[in-house]
A and B are shown apart, each in its own frame.
Chain A
Amino acid sequence: MDRLIDLIPLDYTESVVLIGAVILGVAAGVLGAFAVLRQRSLVGDALSHATLPGVCVAFIATGAKDAPTLALGAAAAGLIGAGLILAIERTGRIRPDAAIGVVLASFFSLGIVLLTFLANYNNANQAGLDTYLFGQAAGLLEGDLEIMGALCLASLALVAIFFRPLKAGLFDMSFAGSMGLPVRLLELAMTAMLVIAIVIGVRTVGAILMVAMLVVPTVTARQLTSRLSTLLVIAGATGAAVGSVGALISNSSNLPTGPVIVVVGFLVALTAIAFAPGRGVAWRARKILRERRRAANEGVLIDLETALHAGAPPTVDELVLTSGRSASGVNRALRDLDRAGALERDGDRIHLSEQGAAAVHALLRKRDLWSVWLEHGWRLELPDAREPDPRNLRHTLGDENTERLLAFAAAGGDARPEGEGRAGEGGDDE
């Protein structure tokens, strides 16, 4: 540890804070994922809060204020809280969220009562316990790092060794159980992992805000990947980055560590939620808008074709009137169609260009093909699980299947094979 601290080009205290924050970030990120992906994030919150009375009791019982003793108290209280949540859920037939709420509030209140009691009756000796509320990076000692690091490495090793059973249980507990995995033990292990992450981090981040360190890395990582193994790596890295940036800012600015870390984490998660490729809000919004615009353009194109079919080329106003669309919508679509070279203008009257006519033709063919699919598609055996997309059926079915479908349609409307259709559809339509 000494050598590691020497390696970092910061002064001693800052190096200790940095290393501690990285350890807690990795642990909270990786282990927290097992709570978030089971939709048990709030259990993390309740257990973080539940550590507070444990810390106080450990201090009262031993009179010691060193990190390992208090961590032991925190861990014990966390496990008791977890057991209580499960017990309330199972025996009281109470919903999980209510059970979590009960444990969170009662344990935290007990912690506050004990803290106040200690402050009133136990002279100045207890000073420092209240840092467990909002966390404090500056209080980390070199000896603490060794314990935190060992706990973190041990739990990461367990995750690596038991990765497949954990993954199976995390995704589908029923299936895992049907394969003979000990479901209860798996749940217990995941909860224990959560408690370990909390115990590693709670002194630095604080009982109130620890949940953010458990949740933010997974939320961020989920935006960036769809594989569990990659997610765990990204979550660990995100946790380390958020923890260390936050802790260093707090350390040099005299701001409370927990809130600073959480603000940093919030910014990171927000960025990922907004801008992640594929899943980000911005990306999805762009896709939706593009899709809407395409649909509007196609609609106006068809409306124009209908109008041309019915009589003289329409003006914009006439087109608005016959199409029932908003004037601004029609105008925007016409601008797009102009740009695509689909229109020809004759004064204020609108024609289709050759290109536009071809586009309309293709569009109508697509629509017809969809009708053919609805009527005759049941006779088409598809080679795999592909499913039709009304916007581009030929693409989803493939050329060969599309031709077969059209052949069915050409062969006549009611060419249902003698006797029965597909056996599976026997019942309903007869």
Chain B
Amino acid sequence: MSAPAAPGPAVSVPPALEVRRLTASYSTRPVLWDVDAKVPAGALAAIVGPNGAGKSTLLKAVVGLLKVDAGHILVEGRPAATALDRIAFVPQRDEVDWDFPITVREVVEMGRYRSAGWLRRLRPVDREAVDLAIERVGMTPYSRRQIGELSGGQRQRVFIARALAQESPVMLLDEPFAGVDARTEAALLDMLAEFRDEGRTVVVVHHDIGTVRARFDWAVLLNVRTIACGPVAEALSDDSLRRAYGGLTGGEGVEDPTWIG
């Protein structure tokens, strides 16, 4: 047994998220068909594509909310089903009842339920993580509010705080910018970029090509099948956009296919 070499040969880091030949369907219509995709660790990645392209379905399949017909999903090289603790998922905002009797802080606390033990009280370390997460999204003054009293942007911040509290290295967000104002979108984007800079992998379902080009590192262009996957400049080439959106101008977020950010 030799002593470990000091700066040994670079161990290849498995991608944060890898999908191989994934097929998933609602009833009989395939929504994802033989999809291959990869997101390297430490990337701020966008899943892009027209309506009904299966963007949200892909995230749902990763976190196990949807039974897939075929294929593999790997998180950090392990099957996703055994790696759920490595993922923090932010579902679409309109999926929950915002009149639900719960405060901002209680929602964020949910992010700690698993690590604290589902049937146990939160430990001091959990409370600290919750405080920190709320602080980071700027919601400290609102932590005792009922969630229905918040604006759309503030609600999204609460959801992001809940994901932060999970302290998972991979964060998946489903349409986090839907229905938030430009100012909040910019603030949230800055926040997601910070998470990336801290070493997390952030995967966002988004449909504004302009923002993706300006702010993201990596893109998965999807339309039932994978059209392109790679660094933004390559994946969102005019040619692949044309193939994803069927050459239609005025497709979601693509006013002009030759538009360059």
Contacts and interface: CB of A to CB of B under 8 A. Distances in A.
Interface of A: 37, 39, 93, 161-162, 164-165, 167-168, 170-172, 174-175, 177-181, 183, 222, 225-228, 230-231, 377-378, 382-387, 422-428
B215 A174 contact: no
A181 B113 CA distance: 11
B247 to A, nearest CB: 22
Given A164-B118, A180-B84, A424 B137 contact: no
B102 A227 contact: yes
Interface in B47-92: 60, 63-65, 84-85, 87, 89, 91
A231 B211 CA distance: 43
B178 interface: no
Contacts of B65: 174, 177-178, 183
Nearest to B63: A178
Nearest to A377: B183
A427 B261 contact: yes
Contacts of A383: 138
A231 B99 CA distance: 13
Contact of A171 (B102, B114, B151, B189): B102
A158 to B, nearest CB: 11
Interface stretch (B1-9, B30-38, B140-148): B140-148
Interface stretch (B103-111, B197-205, B224-232, B236-244): B103-111
B218 to A, nearest CB: 17
B100 A179 contact: no
Nearest to A381: B187
B189 to A, nearest CB: 5
Contacts of A183: 65
Given A177-B64, A228-B100, A384-B141, 12 more contacts: A164-B110, A165-B119, A167-B106, A168-B110, A172-B91, A174-B91, A175-B162, A225-B101, A226-B101, A227-B103, A423-B214, A428-B182
Among the interface residues A174, A228, A382, A426, which one has the most CB atoms of the partner chain B within 10 A?
A174
B139 interface: yes
A218 to B, nearest CB: 9
Contacts of B110: 164, 167-168, 171-172, 175, 179
17 contacts: A171-B96, A171-B97, A172-B95, A174-B63, A175-B162, A178-B63, A178-B84, A178-B89, A179-B114, A227-B101, A228-B106, A230-B101, A382-B138, A384-B141, A387-B151, A422-B186, A424-B211
Nearest to A39: B97
Contacts of A175: 89, 91, 110, 162
Given A228-B102, A384-B139, A164 B84 contact: no
Interface of B: 27, 60, 63-65, 84-85, 87, 89, 91, 95-97, 100-103, 106-107, 110, 113-114, 118-119, 137-142, 146, 151, 153-154, 157, 162, 166, 182-183, 185-187, 189-190, 210-211, 213-215, 261
A239 B101 CA distance: 18
Nearest to B64: A177
Secondary structure call for the B interface: helix
A180 B85 contact: yes
B154 A424 contact: no
Contacts of B95: 172, 174
Nearest to A176: B110
A39 B87 CA distance: 29
A385 B158 CA distance: 10
Contacts of B97: 37, 39, 171
Contacts of A227: 101-103, 106
A392 to B, nearest CB: 16
A230 B146 CA distance: 13
B182 A425 contact: yes
Contacts of A387: 151, 153-154
Contacts of B261: 426-427
B96 A172 contact: yes
A226 B146 contact: yes
B142 A93 contact: no
A177 B63 contact: yes
A385 B89 contact: no
A386 B153 CA distance: 10
Contact of A37 (B87, B100, B113, B215): B100
Contacts of A179: 84, 110, 113-114, 166
A427 B213 CA distance: 9
B185 A424 contact: yes
A426 B214 contact: yes
A424 B101 contact: no
B119 A423 contact: no
Contacts of B187: 424
Contacts of B140: 384
Q: Which 9 A-B pairs have the closest CB atoms?
A: A424-B186, A384-B138, A178-B89, A178-B63, A226-B146, A427-B210, A385-B138, A174-B91, A180-B84
Contacts of A170: 100
Contact of B153 (A162, A167, A385): A385
